[in-house]
Homo-oligomer: A and B are copies of this chain.
Amino acid sequence: MNNGARVSLPVIKRLPKYYRYLKNLRASGVTSISSRELAAHLGTTASQVRQDFNCFGDVNGRQGIGYSVDTLLAMLESLLFGDGDLIPAIQIGAGRLGKAVSRFISRDTNGYRLTAVFDANPSEVGTCIGDTDIKILNIDTLVDFCKEHKPRVAVLCVPRESAQQLTETLVGLGIEGFWNFSHYDMSVDYPHVVVENVHLGDSLMSLGYRLRNEDR
C-alpha cells in the first residue's frame, strides 16, 4: 500500500495520532475533514498532512469537501493493523512497570496478542498478569516457548544489565521487534531489529531540560 517506498520515522509516528483523532471524529458523526482542520488538531501544517497521506498513495481529499473520514480510517487501519491479524508477542519482566504496560497488549490489543509473560521472581511465577488469565512463566522456559510458539515481538521490562544478554537470545530465537522499556539501546548492536524505545527517565530529563533552560 505504501508503494514499496520506505516511509520516514516521523511520518510513521504520526499515523497513530491521525488514527486516534479520526476515530474520535467518526464516533461524533463527522464524515469529512480538510487537511487544514486535521493539521490544527495535530499541531502540524496542512501541507504536512497532505504529504503524509501522499506517502500511502491513493487517498485524495476533494476540493471544498476534504478527506473522507471513513476512507482515511480504512487506510490507517490497514497500515497499522494489516488485515486484523494480531502479532504474537511475549513480555519479559512482570514487575510493577511490566504489570502496568502489559494491558496495552492484553486489554487494548493495539494489533498484538500477548502469548506469554516471563519473570525470574519465584513469587510472580504462576500468577496471572494484570486482570488477564495469562500466566507468568519461569524465565528458564523462555527458549523452549519461543521455539514452539514463534512470537515475533518481545516487550522488555527488565533492568539494563539483563537486557543485553536477553536481546541476543531473543534475536537468535527469531524475535523481529522489541517494545523496549530497558535502558539498553539494542538498535546499535542489532540494526535490523525494529525497536520502539520507551525510556521514561529520558522523557523526564528532556522535560526538565526545557523547563530549566528555555524561556517560554
Interface residues of A, Cβ cutoff 8 Å to B: 1-2, 6-7, 12-13, 15-17, 19-20, 40-43, 79-82, 87, 96-97, 99-101, 103-105, 108, 110-112, 130, 152-153, 176-177, 179, 183, 185, 187-188, 191-192, 194-196, 198-214, 216
Contacts and interface: CB of A to CB of B under 8 A. Distances in A.
A196 B206 contact: yes
B108 A201 contact: yes
Given A2-B213, A101-B200, A130-B96, A205 B110 contact: yes
B96 A202 contact: no
How many copies of this chain sit in the oligomeric assembly?
Answer: 2
Given A97-B100, A200-B104, A204-B111, A209 B43 contact: no
Contacts of A40: 188
Given A104-B200, A185-B42, A205 B80 contact: yes
Given A43-B188, A96-B103, A202-B16, A207 B196 contact: yes
Contact of A12 (B42, B111, B198, B206): B206
A87 B211 contact: yes
Given A100-B100, A112-B204, A194 B177 contact: no
A213 B57 CA distance: 14
